[in-house]
Amino acid sequence: MTVKIGVIGTGMIGRDHARRINQVLAGGKIVALSDVNRASAEAVKADIAPDAVVFDTGEELIASPEVEAVLVTSWGATHEQYVLAAIAAGKPCFCEKPLATTAEGAKRIVDAEVAQGKRLVQVGFMRRYDAGYVALKEAVQSHTGAPIMVHAAHRNPTVPEQYITPMAIHDTLIHEIDVFRWLLDDDYVSARVIFPRKAARSHGKLRDPQVVILETAKGVVIDVEIFVNCHYGYDIQCEVVGEDGVARLPEPMAIQMRLGAKLQNRILTDWKDRFVASYDVELDDFLKAAAQGTASGPSSWDGYVAAITSDACVVAQEKEGEAVAISLPARPALYN
Amino acid sequence: MTVKIGVIGTGMIGRDHARRINQVLAGGKIVALSDVNRASAEAVKADIAPDAVVFDTGEELIASPEVEAVLVTSWGATHEQYVLAAIAAGKPCFCEKPLATTAEGAKRIVDAEVAQGKRLVQVGFMRRYDAGYVALKEAVQSHTGAPIMVHAAHRNPTVPEQYITPMAIHDTLIHEIDVFRWLLDDDYVSARVIFPRKAARSHGKLRDPQVVILETAKGVVIDVEIFVNCHYGYDIQCEVVGEDGVARLPEPMAIQMRLGAKLQNRILTDWKDRFVASYDVELDDFLKAAAQGTASGPSSWDGYVAAITSDACVVAQEKEGEAVAISLPARPALYN
Amino acid sequence: MTVKIGVIGTGMIGRDHARRINQVLAGGKIVALSDVNRASAEAVKADIAPDAVVFDTGEELIASPEVEAVLVTSWGATHEQYVLAAIAAGKPCFCEKPLATTAEGAKRIVDAEVAQGKRLVQVGFMRRYDAGYVALKEAVQSHTGAPIMVHAAHRNPTVPEQYITPMAIHDTLIHEIDVFRWLLDDDYVSARVIFPRKAARSHGKLRDPQVVILETAKGVVIDVEIFVNCHYGYDIQCEVVGEDGVARLPEPMAIQMRLGAKLQNRILTDWKDRFVASYDVELDDFLKAAAQGTASGPSSWDGYVAAITSDACVVAQEKEGEAVAISLPARPALYN
Amino acid sequence: MTVKIGVIGTGMIGRDHARRINQVLAGGKIVALSDVNRASAEAVKADIAPDAVVFDTGEELIASPEVEAVLVTSWGATHEQYVLAAIAAGKPCFCEKPLATTAEGAKRIVDAEVAQGKRLVQVGFMRRYDAGYVALKEAVQSHTGAPIMVHAAHRNPTVPEQYITPMAIHDTLIHEIDVFRWLLDDDYVSARVIFPRKAARSHGKLRDPQVVILETAKGVVIDVEIFVNCHYGYDIQCEVVGEDGVARLPEPMAIQMRLGAKLQNRILTDWKDRFVASYDVELDDFLKAAAQGTASGPSSWDGYVAAITSDACVVAQEKEGEAVAISLPARPALYN
């Protein structure tokens, strides 16, 4: 069956997801579009989804009986309202990060979904769909023994002036926060941030790099280097140390070349190239669940926990060196 | 637009391609099925393509006005007749290897397609769609300078008793024969086969391993080790040596683990896992071209040249150590 | 010229160094031996150094006019007295770790050497002579830009019952403590220890693994995983992150094999194999300096700083999670 | 004991070996020097071996009762006469490549040594002492099962104008010829050379690259790419394919760096750096055997077989594509 999809927000990521639905993946069709900038929605209709209806508002789109499931890819501050509306309409909803701009907002979504009694929301934490992380999780479950430590790095070649210290958590570490919970099947109990000297390329309002240390309920210690002025490339590293051995996230596929006295593999420089394949997989997962009237993958709860954890990490930045406790409410049965 | 597809031959590969069209990829829909074993076609209808009509014969399927494009995934000996019928009907046709069981048969297809005046046939040489080979070709074109040598290996853990010496060419080397022509944008002028001592695990009717040496019109020398009793895994290696440097096909993605005093990455053992992603890509390419009423990718001409080259390699096996000339007719303009 | 060497302490490491001097390296000859167990010294004389005189005490050996330089490879608690005696005699002296059992003891050696006015002591921190670390230092100095972070691991397959928590510092981390000061040309200002849950294989009196975080005067943050029950092998990892890029300590040389569905390289399991080549290099360095009547390489000062730092790390173990300040006296000009 | 060594020929390699004996290794001392250019010998005396006597001729040096063993590092055309003289004098003799300039000359040495009744000659095939090849041989003997194929490459960035086609055998392949016999414990039965198109950087009198195919008595097929204008570096590759698996010669130790969007390891460009450590090991082996009045390692017989094989490979170059038989006389018992 083909799920009829409405897209709210047709900027870069919304357009790209529309393309995936209509041109790459089986199982879905874009039937409705909406954007605060109507011309943007019209352009996506013209280029990608000629059969779609353009709605004035996200709420109207959600209300349309033609729309069976919703992609929320609008400006972050509007996510909460559209997701709540989709839940209220009982329609499966894929929401890009962040689920809401505050932990409280995310909590309202969780509460609404729990009240509905079934999973309707998938949050766009695409790393869980990356073939490398999937294989890493399998390696950890099958080979390395129970995890004890994780060593990780999130490096970006450069950031613009408006990227300030807390964004290293909200925009960058957020991916590690979600994917490590999933990888380890665990929750965080504390966060700590240690700042080395500032990198020469870091601009005035940013303390870069930083080392975030997370501890989990099961006693795993995770250290994550965040370095967004690392200059040499976009590079995601992750090593899990278990009772019996160690497993490491693969480098992205690259041709090994021997050139100019160097044995060399390209390193990516643009984050958009790093997890590009996982967007297809996450949307395919969304379509399959939506065809059943539900959602799977990263949940509202995951989005809420990520928000709480991020907030704690930002406090930990301010309390440099100190462990900041992270406490979560009880997990509703819906998310077990 | 959605291309309406008929599948002739619903065995393992036909069923799998039907699944891709209906459940994985955008752009196509299975509307017709046919198999000498009608129950097989009915089963695919039940499981994958409920809207499809089951036809008694491939010819009837091809003739159906509902069918816009054809997948020929039947028994190899029947490929030629169905492909010729599809060409006669002017319908794009994806044909699994081999295009025909003889070079003459492949030539008849080429002639028919040339007479039609446009590309209608894509042959199932999926390696051209593998991300590793695609990246290797890009590396060769952009970095290593003009190719001079290729060192390659095609290793399989084991083969059944019915796999005899010429099958090392027709079933195994056939992939290298096609993909190296594409990789190098070149044609072969001679083949030579050298046999080391027979491996202990090779059964009585098989000389295994062997080293095939191909020379191209541009003067590239290619050595390919074929070793189908290599025991340790399914392993495809390829290194291109150019004027300025060397590029190597990547190993398949695998988690690096440290376990039991070994730094280790898994090696695949089943050929079906090695190029699994490329089947999706080749069919996507077929659907996109079929939507335009034509075909792209590996052509009838490529299938024909592969057949001529294979035949020469088998002669070269018999004339152990001698160079056997490979001569091709002029390439029709359609294939330039 | 050939330096005439006396060895005090002819246990495993003393015997091995005697072998190096007499059978491997040019430039030295064992002329004197001493051990609390005289039979041990006699055995080394018989097997390795037939021309050597066996002395009753280390003091007599040092006093002998035949002895031009001294190796102190006795029980750790006796190092200080022999090194002080060698300094008093004005003879170059190679002392195995630890230089002394307390920071105060090491300080007395520093003071004595400074009073003598020239370098006479080399401490057996052999990692500085490892080809991998030497190349890493060159990479850091020439390519990666100024260091900002170091990620390291020191893993051992297993330890005996008598190995208790502070030994993870004094016997294990001690190597990182010295080699990172040298690698970074920097000093430590604080240490912090974070304990993940205890590994299942860790015995009752040992908290294993642990993560030690050192900060340096230049603002470098170093995280070192110490995991002495890691089970899979003896594994030393070190990655330096600089302003422009990252450099990583090489894996020990190993044959890459494809066997049993694994691409695999051996990992060492015995620490004695890991830096075996560097012992030759450090003693060669000692012989060359001793021939000039002096010493080079790791100094008394380095041994003293390592002792102060170790003590702080042990306090940091006790104050789990807290940063413990490390303050050093002014460095005497002799060690600049 | 210390072996008293005379060096005949004090050019670059002779001087370097003298340095090894006097300044690096235990067990030997240079007591005599000789060179057609007496000033060269005097300079080595001044810089490295102050106690050595300079002789007018190699023959006088060999005759000196002070000299217990001889290094022949003179011009290649003079090797035979000095080695024969050393054998006649019953003195162990290390001879740099080539043992003689012709197979007949090498045969005369073999005959003389056999007549003496004991090993006295070690030929300077240093690769047998390279840690990588030693580990590869161990891997082949212990893990991969009996060898069936070898894939190898010998690449050099560039060569001068005087390097002509046969030198690719006599100066380049000669190392593979010897080391593969040792690695496989086997002998060659045929050689064949295939020429790809000439590389653009190859000068007029050189056909470069070439692929040499050797077959052994045990049925192993070896392909060796020789490419002396490969531009990118000095690169020695070797992969052995056995019944159970594959083993590969390690890359030289290098720091892995992440710089400028490349994951990169340096590749050497100067052949002198590639096997530098193995010169120490081969001379240590010579000293140990010479102390017993004999020789070990690569023998006169090995030098002779290398000469015969090289001659056959040069014929194979001329008979492009044809297999040229290699037949050896019976191996004297002395060399078993």
Query: pLDDT of C160-196, one tens digit each?
Result: 999 999 999 999 999 999 999 999 999 999 999 999 9
Asked if the Cβ–Cβ distance from A148 to C220 is below 8 Å, we say no
First to last CA, chain C: 28
Low-confidence ranges of chain A (pLDDT < 50): none
Asked if the Cβ–Cβ distance from B143 to A259 is below 8 Å, we say yes
Cis peptide before D160 (omega within 30 of 0): no
The DSSP secondary structure of D13-37, one letter per residue, reads: HHHHHHHIIIIIBSSEEEEEEE-SS
Contacts of D110 (CB under 8 A, 6+ apart): D300, D301, D304, D332
Q: Taking CA atoms, what residue in A is nearest to B134?
A: A255
Are B323 and D321 spatial neighbours (Cβ–Cβ below 8 Å)? Answer: yes
Asked if the Cβ–Cβ distance from B258 to A245 is below 8 Å, we say yes
Asked if the Cβ–Cβ distance from B258 to C267 is below 8 Å, we say yes
CA distance D225 to D248: 15
Measure in Å the smallest separation between the Cα of C251 and chain B Cα atoms.
10
Band the pLDDT of C1: cuts 50, 70, 90: confident
Strands B235-242 and C93-95: unpaired
Q: How far is CA A312 from CA A168, A206, A309, A324, in A?
A: 13, 18, 5, 6
Contacts of D235 in chain A (CB under 8 A): 258
Measure in Å the smallest separation between the Cα of D177 and chain B Cα atoms.
18
**Assigned token pair, D113:** 């040594």
Measure in Å the smallest separation between the Cα of D236 and chain A Cα atoms.
12
Contacts of D220 in chain B (CB under 8 A): 196-197
Low-confidence ranges of chain D (pLDDT < 50): none
Measure in Å the smallest separation between the Cα of C300 and chain A Cα atoms.
29
CB pairs under 8 A between A and D: 50
Q: Considering CB atoms only, which of D225, D227, D243 is closest to B201?
A: D243
Instruction: Please give the backbone phi and psi of residue D181, each rounded to the nearest 5 degrees, phi first.
Output: -60, -45
Rg (CA), chain D: 20
Asked if the Cβ–Cβ distance from D200 to B146 is below 8 Å, we say yes
Residue in D258, D271, D273 to test binding to A, most A beta-carbons within 10 Å:
D258
Contacts of A143 in chain B (CB under 8 A): 257, 259
Q: Considering CB atoms only, which of D21, D26, D244 is closest to C22?
A: D26
Asked if the Cβ–Cβ distance from C227 to A241 is below 8 Å, we say yes
Q: How far is CA C11 from CA C34, C52, C169, in A?
A: 10, 16, 24
Asked if the Cβ–Cβ distance from D231 to B245 is below 8 Å, we say yes
Q: Taking CA atoms, what residue in C is nearest to B232?
A: C260
What domains appear along chain B, each with residue ranges and CATH number? 3-126+278-299 (3.40.50.720), 131-271 (3.30.360.10)
CA distance D130 to D285: 12
Q: Considering CB atoms only, which of C209, C221, C230 is closest to A211?
A: C221
> Which chains lie within 8 Å of chain C at 3 or more CB pairs, if any?
A, B, D
Are B21 and B28 spatial neighbours (Cβ–Cβ below 8 Å)? Answer: yes
**Assigned token pair, B237:** 């290696």
**Assigned token pair, C217:** 């005067």
pLDDT at D36: 97
CA distance C89 to C72: 14
Query: pLDDT of D107-140, one tens digit each?
Result: 999 999 999 999 999 999 999 999 999 999 999 9
Contacts of A227 in chain C (CB under 8 A): 148-149, 241
Asked if the Cβ–Cβ distance from A255 to B245 is below 8 Å, we say no
CB pairs under 8 A between A and B: 87
Q: How far is CA C7 from CA B104, C75, C86, C92, D122, in A?
A: 85, 13, 12, 12, 36
Q: Considering CB atoms only, which of C209, C213, C221 is closest to A148?
A: C209
pLDDT at C164: 97
Asked if the Cβ–Cβ distance from B250 to A247 is below 8 Å, we say no
Q: Considering CB atoms only, which of B196, B198, B220 is closest to D196?
A: B220
Asked if the Cβ–Cβ distance from A261 to D232 is below 8 Å, we say yes
Contacts of D113-119 spanning 24+ positions with Cβ under 8 A: D113/D87, D113/D300, D113/D334, D114/D332, D114/D334, D116/D87, D116/D90, D117/D334, D118/D293, D118/D294, D118/D334, D119/D289, D119/D294, D119/D295, D119/D296, D119/D299, D119/D334
Asked if the Cβ–Cβ distance from A201 to C243 is below 8 Å, we say yes
B22: amino acid identity, one letter: N
pLDDT at D276: 95
Q: How far is CA B277 from CA A318, B127, B129, B170, B273, in A?
A: 46, 10, 8, 23, 8
pLDDT at B178: 98
Residue in D246, D263, D269 to test binding to B, most B beta-carbons within 10 Å:
D246
Q: How many CA atoms lie within 13 A of B149 on its CB side?
A: 28
Measure in Å the smallest separation between the Cα of D158 and chain B Cα atoms.
12
Asked if the Cβ–Cβ distance from D235 to A258 is below 8 Å, we say yes
Asked if the Cβ–Cβ distance from C257 to D248 is below 8 Å, we say yes
Q: Considering CB atoms only, which of B131, B248, B257 is closest to A245?
A: B257
pLDDT at D1: 75
| Chain D residues with a Cβ under 8 Å from any Cβ in chain C | 21-27, 131-132, 135-136, 138-139, 143-144, 244-250, 253-260, 284
Asked if the Cβ–Cβ distance from A257 to B144 is below 8 Å, we say yes
**Assigned token pair, A238:** 């992750």
The helix/strand/coil state of C22 is helix
Are A242 and A145 spatial neighbours (Cβ–Cβ below 8 Å)? Answer: yes
Residue in D188, D224, D229, D243 to test binding to B, most B beta-carbons within 10 Å:
D243
Are C54 and C45 spatial neighbours (Cβ–Cβ below 8 Å)? Answer: yes
Q: How far is CA C128 from CA B139, B328, C283, D44, in A?
A: 39, 64, 12, 32
pLDDT at D100: 96
Contacts of C194 in chain A (CB under 8 A): 213, 215, 221
CA distance D61 to D33: 7
B4: enclosing H helix or E strand: strand B3-8
Q: Taking CA atoms, what residue in C is nearest to B268?
A: C261
pLDDT at C99: 97
Low-confidence ranges of chain B (pLDDT < 50): none
